[in-house]
Structure 1
Amino acid sequence: MSLLRKLFSDKSATGGATTQFQDSDSGNAAGPRDTPRRELVHVVLRDTMRRHGIPSDWIDCRVLSVVSRSSASGVHVTFIVRGGQDRLLAYVPAFQSSFWDAIRQFEPRARDWLFSLSWQFDGMARNPGMPDPASWTAASGAPAPVAPGPVPQDELQEDLQALFAIRDAVLRESPQAPNFEATQPLRREPPAGSSFDATQPLKR
């Protein structure tokens, strides 16, 4: 109990937390700044699920906008699994890696503002409980693969257009956006020592 009192007393003495949390649905100051980022997270999640054939109602997303003590704004993302928990659990690391690869294709600096990515499993009616401790070192069979589903081409095209639009909005708001110059035509210079005179007529 003394440790708990110390923790709470230290928290009250500091006068506030080092990070301000704001819900993604709130209308606070950090909300509008992170709106393109929240949209990017939702669109990339939906596209990643469709690409791997996961039903659209299995995974939901919650985005929490935050402002750190150094005034850096970003988001915390939680994937909420509402269906297929027993089948998706074994593929969480692979799905998470696929999501990161996809979002970095449209926003290479996503790691700078997407502070954390967590998972929440809801609706697990039948919980088998923890296994025997020795089972962690025993050989286990491969998990059942997730059945792929059809991917409509028109929906993929709409998602790609939305992703590029969101990416452009994020880059416009980023203070460290790269400054690219206009593309210039390639100029070929003759190699050194290869100066040729004008062609002269052949003298017989």
Structure 2
Amino acid sequence: MFEFLKSKRPKDESVPCAPVSDVSDSSSQHNDVRRELIRVVLKDTLRLHGVPFGLLACEVIIVARAPGEDELHIQLVMMKWNEQLLRYASALQQQLRLGLDHFDPSIDHSKYIFSWRLSPDCGCPFPSMPDSKSWRQNTTQQVEEAPVSVLDRRHTRRLPKAALPDPMPALASAEPSNFAPTQMTPLK
């Protein structure tokens, strides 16, 4: 009587019914933990170096490149303009990496990608680009010498003789000695 309710397809025993996987749930939970760890380490790094909390925010973007391989982008967002913070951006990134290494040494944090973004209402005092001539003028004025080791005598700066003090005034009037002048020999 109720034959119309029965399925007319034959049962296929060869296709087992697989349980629903929790891989996406565990992966998203793992990513949430990573995001929260980065935010906590950033907050701790800012506190440790005395940077006010309102200046910088953080967004963490995780991009799946291949199965099991994620690329992590840390976007530091400047909420309020601070030129000093931009000057030390590289040092801040390094401190953040070191903090992440401290809290989670099992992960290679050197592969994380950092980027900086300015909030639209951060209050940047430079709303437009300067004249093109200013770039050429600034680069010639800001060229500095590379730091030279104090042990490298080839690059010592020579002062004019008038600026040098007389190192041994008493010896200047002394009689000449019978010693031969010192000769430089190569080191072996």
- Give the alignment's TM-score, normalised by structure 1: 0.49
Aligned partner of residue 75 in structure 2, secondary structure: strand
Aligned partner of residue 68 in structure 1, secondary structure: strand
Tell me how far apart the structure 1 counterparts of residues 47 and 109 of structure 2 sit (CA, whole Å).
26
- What residue in structure 2 maps to residue 44 of structure 1? 41
Q: Which amino acid aligns with 2:125?
A: R
Q: Identity of counterpart residues, as a percentage? A: 23
Tell me how far apart the structure 2 counterparts of residues 69 and 36 of structure 1 sit (CA, whole Å).
20
1:76/1:115 contact within 8 Å kept: yes
The 3 A distance-change label for structure 1 pair 139 and 112 is closer
Note if 1:132 corresponds to 2:101: no
- What residue in structure 2 maps to residue 145 of structure 1? none
The 3 A distance-change label for structure 1 pair 47 and 137 is farther
After TM superposition, give the deviation of residue 126 of structure 1 in Å. Answer: 2.1
- What residue in structure 2 maps to residue 66 of structure 1? 63
Tell me how far apart the structure 2 counterparts of residues 40 and 33 of structure 1 sit (CA, whole Å).
11
- Please list, as runs of the form range in 1=range in 2, the aligned pairs for 1:1-204 lying within 5 A after superposition: 30-111=27-108, 115-122=112-119, 123-127=122-126, 129-130=129-130, 131-139=134-142
The 3 A distance-change label for structure 1 pair 65 and 30 is farther
Aligned partner of residue 76 in structure 2, secondary structure: strand
Tell me how far apart the structure 2 counterparts of residues 28 and 119 of structure 1 sit (CA, whole Å).
30
Q: Which amino acid aligns with 1:138?
A: Q
Q: Which amino acid aligns with 1:77?
A: I
**RCO greater where, 1 or 2, for CA within 8 Å and sep 6 or more?**
1
Tell me how far apart the structure 2 counterparts of residues 31 and 66 of structure 1 sit (CA, whole Å).
12
Aligned partner of residue 95 in structure 2, secondary structure: helix
1:31/1:65 contact within 8 Å kept: no
Worse overlay, 129-138 or 102-111: 129-138
After TM superposition, give the deviation of residue 49 of structure 1 in Å. Answer: 0.4
After TM superposition, give the deviation of residue 74 of structure 1 in Å. Answer: 4.5
Tell me how far apart the structure 1 counterparts of residues 26 and 54 of structure 2 sit (CA, whole Å).
31
The 3 A distance-change label for structure 1 pair 30 and 134 is farther
Tell me how far apart the structure 2 counterparts of residues 112 and 120 of structure 1 sit (CA, whole Å).
20
Residues 156-194 of structure 1 deviation map (CA, whole Å, 9 limit, x = unaligned): xxxxxxxxxxxxxxxxxxxxxxxxxxxxxxxxxxxxxxx
1:65/1:75 contact within 8 Å kept: yes
After TM superposition, give the deviation of residue 107 of structure 1 in Å. Answer: 1.5
RMSD of equivalent CA atoms = 2.8
Tell me how far apart the structure 2 counterparts of residues 137 and 30 of structure 1 sit (CA, whole Å).
52
After TM superposition, give the deviation of residue 140 of structure 1 in Å. Answer: 8.0
1:63/1:75 contact within 8 Å kept: yes
Aligned partner of residue 34 in structure 1, secondary structure: helix
Q: Which amino acid aligns with 1:129?
A: M
- Give the alignment's TM-score, normalised by structure 2: 0.52
